[in-house]
Structure 1
Amino acid sequence: MKLENLGIEDTVVDLKPLDHIMGKHAFIRAGQWDYERVTYDYKIGSNETNVTYYIRVQGYALEGDVDRKDAVIKLLTPLLGKHYYPHGIEYGEEENFPENLVERARKILQSLSEELQSLKGE
């Protein structure tokens, strides 16, 4: 499920401050990158059996390399996904997400967006 109109998509930011801010908001990049793309995940626990939800923020390098940590990243529209053990994560619009979970995800992303926007003033 796309989480649109939160001010994150199309944000352009240097990788180092992006990594710092994402980490402050509990988004993990770990090994989810290549030379041109980054993916950050935020794990949301669930009371549902064998189900975990994730907020995913992806981006791609407009210039530089992620590996050298000198990339300038353009962020894409965040996604809300549902992980089905052991099959994987589904992000499709046909997935059913509890409304309280969607609202929680939006609040997390709004907080993240506010901090990302503060970089523009520096």
Structure 2
Amino acid sequence: MKGDLQMYVENIGIDGLVTDLKLMEEVMLKNGLVLEGQWDYERVTFDKKYVIREGTYYLRIFGELVEGDIDGRKATVRLKQPVLGKYYYPFGVEYGEGEEFPASLVKDCELTAKAVYDELKQYSV
């Protein structure tokens, strides 16, 4: 992970992966990442929430529409590099370089992103 403007989960291969949204949702859910209401007609956001002693954190994997209809779940989506953020009430999730992330949390985020990539890469278009 690097600390510039955001804390990215790097060197996984997920950035730029393109696949079917329905399949993507199944794989994400299997790995603890949920879509919930975090989508619009051009973007999706999958979240995995961590509540640990140091606070509440989110692994986020963003995606953007390549073609189709996200609302109807008939879409092809390109994933972006996963990012890790810390939640602050009432402001939301912060991704800044000043954030401290426990090593065990970072490791789990890397393993989760790798598991998602390993399963989805075989279906990449």
Question: What are the equivalent positions in structure 2 for 1:1-122 lying under 5 Å apart?
Answer: 1-48=7-54, 51-120=55-124
- TM-score in terms of structure 2 length: 0.89
Matched position secondary structure for 2:56: strand
Taking only aligned residues, the RMSD between alpha carbons, in angstroms, comes to: 1.4
Greater percentage in strand: 2
Q: For residue 100 of structure 1, report the CA deviation from its aligned partner.
A: 2.1
Aligned length: 119
Residue identity matched to 1:23:
L
Residue identity matched to 2:56:
T
Q: For residue 65 of structure 1, report the CA deviation from its aligned partner.
A: 1.5
Residue identity matched to 2:75:
A
1: CA distance, partners of 2:107 / 2:99 = 16
- TM-score in terms of structure 1 length: 0.91
1: CA distance, partners of 2:90 / 2:73 = 33
Matched position secondary structure for 2:47: strand
Gaps of 5+ in 1: none
Q: For residue 93 of structure 1, report the CA deviation from its aligned partner.
A: 2.2
Deviating beyond 4 angstroms after TM superposition, the runs of 4 or more aligned structure 1 residues are none
Give me the identity figure in percent: 45
